[in-house]
Structure 1
């Protein structure tokens, strides 16, 4: 298979022997991953069994370029390389070698298969463990959504596993670093106790959350001769990409594996580590890379233009130090445009207008992205509505967004309530109105409300929906017969389903979407984003059902009802690779949080940075039950998390963020300042200060238009 056109740096890698163990480092967009893909194709096409090649990535989305190359019809016939995260490998090995470890870890049912938990099912079981403690007054001094509370306790468990310290040390580590009121110590002690009780519950019921999977594999299975020899025999060649985004225990394992490999290629982004809040450790990655005998440095950017690259250097300098610069302003002044607005909506209007002008100048929609530190529901809605009115295709991507916040999901859950009358969860008329407005082609809120008011009859034994023909002629005309026909199609399907129901909620969701809502006459027809969201919902519901049924856990209500209730209460959904792939493939303007855009690792021509005065660009999220920088291998036990530490970490993260974004920008960035933020308050964060410092430099440059 012929590789794409390659640079001299990439060709140098391909010219090296297959027996080499090479470490590649360089900035983002310097062609390292492309070189890794080309190396994989080269090995598979030159006699090395493809099944002996392991591609390891810290996050599934980062493996998409390799997966796409493997799925290409021109990929050499025979076996295929394996693309995995270390977590995925752990799950495979545990499933394969379960009998070896089942009786050595105090599992309650060693003769039964384990149940691997997803993020959703882990939250569910965590809730079962923590609820009695909440009733006893635990965590009463903090205000936190229950699902966020559960996820932060799970995060503590995960940090213990991926960093490599004992589970019982979580509370002590957090308390030792804390410098505030000692009332916070009680919160850390309570979080510690809940983590220990959850681990006991998992062992008792053969439940494996991510942390337990990771520990079983890295601490036990990897140290057994049978498992180690199985992996060493099957995988002789390793490509490990984005090592700076992976966790230190993963680096330890690979360091142990490297001497047994025939070849290895380790790839690291300079200035990476964007997943540090999940345990990523660039310093540990560097120590791993330095054990390899050969190092290659990729220089320059294959994406950023000269002006953008110079602007990147200048703004990161400005973030570190204010004051004069000896750079030539003409080498970077045309890479950015600063726009100031008094009110937030004015900024959004200008963003859409400017994006429209770029499209008129020949820029493709997928070459534009709109970024903010956080993508709230209101901001997402406001931007999508504006782009829709302008006739510009737009897509939003926020993996952390709860499924219940998706309008399509709310509409589907409304139909699920109607499909299962025995659950006694009949929705209100407002919910039904919103569902019809979301699903039926031609249904605006007025007509959807008319349908909900006249045809929705909750509690009726013959069904919740009356036939359209039962309306008087005047009402039929107001609703319109075209909309009435689409309503009747949905009603008839629901009537038939209620007559012959299936108990599994995920099957209901899959069927109604496939048979009705994805067909002509529905607003979801040919709506790829809605299809992606629905796929996530179906997958989430199915995995939850399988987790519950596998353990024969007694429930007072049907599994589907339990899941629906959890979801509506704010269950945090796991990330889906489907969403990442769709985000990369759709030809539409991307609206995304800045860090999410970085992890997609896809360049664009133009970026819009919204409200650069927001402190969200600089400050980290407050997490009262955990602290990712303290639960880190690089943290010294005697250090205290002071304001100086907080400032230094926030400053460093902002520099990395800005540099990473500009490495993935080809032609220019629009920096937008709003006098009032989304909440109507004035902000002046570090990013806008740095930009204003650059604008002062431009004052001394005659004829400049930025000032």
Structure 2
């Protein structure tokens, strides 16, 4: 095996920096296709000048090397630079997720001044790219597999998780009805999800589906039922094999199928192996304790064929241990590494130096520290361990309440006070505070957001994922589809129509806001919407990108011959909504005609007391109704959604969150129609499935945020915070008494321990599961403690949201911290109460 460096250390110990230094050394050594050092002009990455690798070789910045020779020498130098840039892409960098990949890529780009681009990937993105790139080769290989048959030569489509769940449930419907696959107490949807997760775990571990038959009764949960456990596992293997062949034949790829194709068909292929060894001569894998075993097989292959490697490993990491990570398998590379480096000290001070030992001791044995009644004057007489106890008391704060509602209120007050209080002559900024919870819930997020927003403190969840159906604009667009396309009448009701009228009429607010000029805009809006040939044909991306110049765009689209006569409507007073919910309900009750095939809207005058609506409401309603009637059912639904967004939402200047939600809706629609066309679904069936899918709430909007806002308090779960790889001055540990700190299954797939390479083949008992929970808690606590530098705030309420007493394994920590009324962070009202008590 070629030379490799194994770098290990705890969080924030500088492992990634050390890997970047090795990359810089490769540049200085003249690798990546560089000419010999003697042939280089002075100042261009000469290895005899250690700091010169950071200098730019752009002739506009450093023209000296280009002035030393004639035109031919400059041409040869340019060719060498181009060769060097091309050769530097032989460096394969692997990161745990997309954000960490971008961060690592930016750091390497900065080191090489943009002259050494590398191939930056996550393990899954690399497998996906390779499978798509070599898909023609895979078609020939898969056609030779038994019981598969001929595969069509069509470009593959990668299924999202929600689409995978939907299609797999339909494909296995007959098998599930027969009851040959059953797990006691597990519903159908959950069973399908478990089976798909088992497929992914098997692919990540490099195990075939045939190995399922050997699991027998050694699962996490017993499979007692009508069938013996061994037979159930065998049936699961057959069902997954049939599902895999079905996806092959239709050109559909899932995460599990992608990894399975790469491991068993692409990586063993001789031609691919030869090309792979030529393409990548260097590999940098950051945080390999989070990677699956299949990524280790890839790195082993590259090292065996002469590549140089740098691997970073955190012994207390493995946040993805239940999601396919296999740190024990990666330790095999440590035994074969040429150099092993251990980083002991953090790049910046953290409270782990004083808080780690006593916290872990108390988690192991809650009776390790006796009740001292808050008197630490004689702690030195109790041994060395109690010195750590006293140090822990100095750097931690305790917030203790009876109810969780009071805890959230007090936690937000302390956050505000911490930001407004000077500590060691420096103020704490909002982005230096993180609130970490074992499990996120809407109550905590809403309460903290509302309280902090009223105090003008920005607050943001770390990885917000809200169902797009929660957005009224999305629901209105779905209702709009049912009024344009036939045979969708059963998917709409009066309440949905009323909501659509309220939301779509908001575009008229600015037109009724007063002023003569606005009246011209209003009249032109009606004319534009009634003119079919004036609809924009722009793509959804262009429509959404127009948000920054909506006002100018609207004025430019007005015809030059627009009427200028004043209208009585402009004399109306502006209101918050053009069609308010009450009048929208009246219109829906009297002007909406339900029908299973073609529901429609009638004129507002069909309401006998139409004069009670008012001119403003009647006009807006008629404009919406006329726009709907002007649409043709022959129009592509994607184009209809695009036109509706441009006409009703873009002029209202939506916020970033609203814009990202609309973008997610358009992208989901485009993606879903591709699947429908691939599977030969009728157009009406695609629309029906799409509406039902969105309304189920499985589609979430994930706005792209390459960097965290600089002025926001972060709210995250333990898993989200650990994967973000950040650090803060102050951490708030919310719900300290919750049992979710130890037993949370948010980052755990069913059967995950059975597919790790360190599994000994013995039945997975409850006792072994508890041991894993304890180890996972220890790793999480160490990771969190190394990521805070100033204070740690324990937030504990005696009662949880459900009213039950909270007695989790971390409850005892509340007694080791300084009470909040004795802390510099205490709000004025708490200080006053404390003085009154004295």
Report if aligned partners of 1:370, 1:607 keep a CA contact under 8 Å in 2.
yes
Instruction: Name the structure 1 match of 2:788.
Output: 665
| Matches for 1:95-244 after TM superposition, within 5 Å | 95-105=132-142, 106=145, 107-113=148-154, 114-137=156-179, 142=184, 147-170=189-212, 172-173=214-215, 175-178=217-220, 180=222, 182-183=224-225, 185=229, 191-244=236-289
1:158-214 Cα deviation digits (max 9, x unpaired): 111111222133364262245757239376565444323312322333322222221
Report if aligned partners of 1:612, 1:673 keep a CA contact under 8 Å in 2.
yes
Instruction: Name the structure 2 match of 1:538.
Output: 666
Deviation of 1:246 after TM superposition, in Å, equals: 0.4
Change (3 A) 1:624 1:634: closer
Tell which has more relative contact order, 1 or 2 (C-alpha 8 A, sep 6+): 1
Change (3 A) 1:54 1:668: same
1:352-404 Cα deviation digits (max 9, x unpaired): 22222233344333322222222234443343344444433222245776554
| Matches for 1:51-66 after TM superposition, within 5 Å | 51-66=89-104
Deviation of 1:685 after TM superposition, in Å, equals: 1.2
Matched, 1:257 2:257: no
Instruction: Name the structure 1 match of 2:387.
Output: 327
3-state SS of paired residue (1:132)? helix
Instruction: Name the structure 2 match of 1:92.
Output: 129
Instruction: Name the structure 2 match of 1:674.
Output: 797
Figure out how many residues of one structure are paired with residues of the other and give that number: 667
Matched, 1:376 2:449: no
Change (3 A) 1:320 1:190: same
Change (3 A) 1:411 1:313: farther
Report if aligned partners of 1:612, 1:672 keep a CA contact under 8 Å in 2.
yes
1:610-641 Cα deviation digits (max 9, x unpaired): 2121111111439999321223222111x122
Within 2, Cα distance between the matches of 1:133 and 1:625? 23
Within 2, Cα distance between the matches of 1:561 and 1:657? 44
3-state SS of paired residue (1:357)? helix
Deviation of 1:597 after TM superposition, in Å, equals: 1.5
Within 1, Cα distance between the matches of 2:339 and 2:149? 48
Matched, 1:644 2:688: no
Matched, 1:568 2:695: yes
| Matches for 1:294-373 after TM superposition, within 5 Å | 294-303=339-348, 305-322=349-366, 323-324=368-369, 325-361=385-421, 362-373=427-438
Within 2, Cα distance between the matches of 1:70 and 1:624? 33
TM-score (norm 2): 0.70
Report if aligned partners of 2:392, 2:816 keep a CA contact under 8 Å in 1.
no
Matched, 1:423 2:491: no
Change (3 A) 1:623 1:384: closer
1:561-581 Cα deviation digits (max 9, x unpaired): 3122123235466x96x5463
Deviation of 1:338 after TM superposition, in Å, equals: 1.6
Within 2, Cα distance between the matches of 1:438 and 1:313? 56
Report if aligned partners of 2:604, 2:618 keep a CA contact under 8 Å in 1.
no
TM-score (norm 1): 0.82
Instruction: Name the structure 1 match of 2:10.
Output: 27
1:589-619 Cα deviation digits (max 9, x unpaired): 2222220121111222222222121111111
Instruction: Name the structure 1 match of 2:337.
Output: 292
Report if aligned partners of 1:118, 1:543 keep a CA contact under 8 Å in 2.
no
Report if aligned partners of 1:352, 1:387 keep a CA contact under 8 Å in 2.
yes
| Matches for 1:263-274 after TM superposition, within 5 Å | 263-274=308-319
Change (3 A) 1:267 1:623: closer
Range that drifts further, 660-669 or 411-420: 411-420
**Which structure has the bigger radius of gyration?**
2
Within 1, Cα distance between the matches of 2:413 and 2:777? 28
Matched, 1:553 2:680: yes
Change (3 A) 1:503 1:676: farther
Deviation of 1:311 after TM superposition, in Å, equals: 1.4
Report if aligned partners of 1:396, 1:591 keep a CA contact under 8 Å in 2.
yes
Range that drifts further, 42-51 or 551-560: 42-51
| Matches for 1:591-670 after TM superposition, within 5 Å | 591-621=715-745, 626-637=750-761, 639-670=762-793
Deviation of 1:692 after TM superposition, in Å, equals: 4.5
Structure 1 gaps, min length 5: 1-18
Deviation of 1:155 after TM superposition, in Å, equals: 0.6
Change (3 A) 1:291 1:341: same
Matched, 1:581 2:714: no
3-state SS of paired residue (2:731)? strand
Aligned match of 2:457 in 377, 381, 392?
392
1:329-361 Cα deviation digits (max 9, x unpaired): 342223222212222211221222222223334
Structure 2 gaps, min length 5: 33-44, 46-52, 54-80, 370-384, 422-426, 510-574, 827-833
Report if aligned partners of 1:608, 1:670 keep a CA contact under 8 Å in 2.
yes
Instruction: Name the structure 1 match of 2:517.
Output: none
Deviation of 1:64 after TM superposition, in Å, equals: 2.5
Report if aligned partners of 2:322, 2:747 keep a CA contact under 8 Å in 1.
no
Aligned match of 1:458 in 583, 592, 597?
592
Deviation of 1:216 after TM superposition, in Å, equals: 1.9
Report if aligned partners of 1:417, 1:427 keep a CA contact under 8 Å in 2.
yes
Report if aligned partners of 1:437, 1:444 keep a CA contact under 8 Å in 2.
no
Within 1, Cα distance between the matches of 2:431 and 2:788? 12
Within 1, Cα distance between the matches of 2:237 and 2:112? 49
Report if aligned partners of 1:53, 1:238 keep a CA contact under 8 Å in 2.
yes
Deviation of 1:585 after TM superposition, in Å, equals: 3.9
3-state SS of paired residue (1:158)? helix
Deviation of 1:466 after TM superposition, in Å, equals: 7.0
Deviation of 1:140 after TM superposition, in Å, equals: 6.7
Change (3 A) 1:426 1:102: closer
Deviation of 1:224 after TM superposition, in Å, equals: 2.2
Matched, 1:498 2:542: no
Report if aligned partners of 2:742, 2:773 keep a CA contact under 8 Å in 1.
yes
Deviation of 1:156 after TM superposition, in Å, equals: 0.5
Within 2, Cα distance between the matches of 1:436 and 1:666? 52
Within 1, Cα distance between the matches of 2:243 and 2:455? 50
Deviation of 1:37 after TM superposition, in Å, equals: 4.7
1:507-559 Cα deviation digits (max 9, x unpaired): 5556655664355x35xx2x33343444444333333332332x343347342
Within 1, Cα distance between the matches of 2:235 and 2:800? 36
Range that drifts further, 436-445 or 208-217: 436-445
Deviation of 1:653 after TM superposition, in Å, equals: 1.0
